[in-house]
Amino acid sequence: MPPESEEGAVAATRTPPMIEQQRAEGFLALGFNATQASLLAATRHEGRYVEAGEVQRMLDAGCPHDVALRILL
């Protein structure tokens, strides 16, 4: 395998955790604790990840964090 292909393969294996970490940081910024943020970042519903924008809209509409977690998890 050429070196650039190996590098791409390594990058591909690192991408999901890095993306999940970025997603968790977004949930931390919304006021969730680290455990909650990690759970939200890893949660999929009907093939889609929970998006921070969706959660932000819930919170803006007055939904408490604990209720949002129960709905989304």
DSSP codes of every residue in 3-52: HHHHHHHHHHHHHHHHHHHHHHHHHHHTT--HHHHHHHHH-EETTEEPPH
| Structure-block tokens of residue 15 | 């991408």
Quote the CA–CA distance of 25 and 19 in Å, as a whole number: 10
Q: Using one digit for the tens of pLDDT, what is the confidence trace for 17-68?
A: 888 999 999 999 999 999 999 999 998 878 889 999 999 999 999 999 999 9
| Structure-block tokens of residue 56 | 């932000």
pTM, entire model = 0.74
Quote the CA–CA distance of 16 and 36 in Å, as a whole number: 18
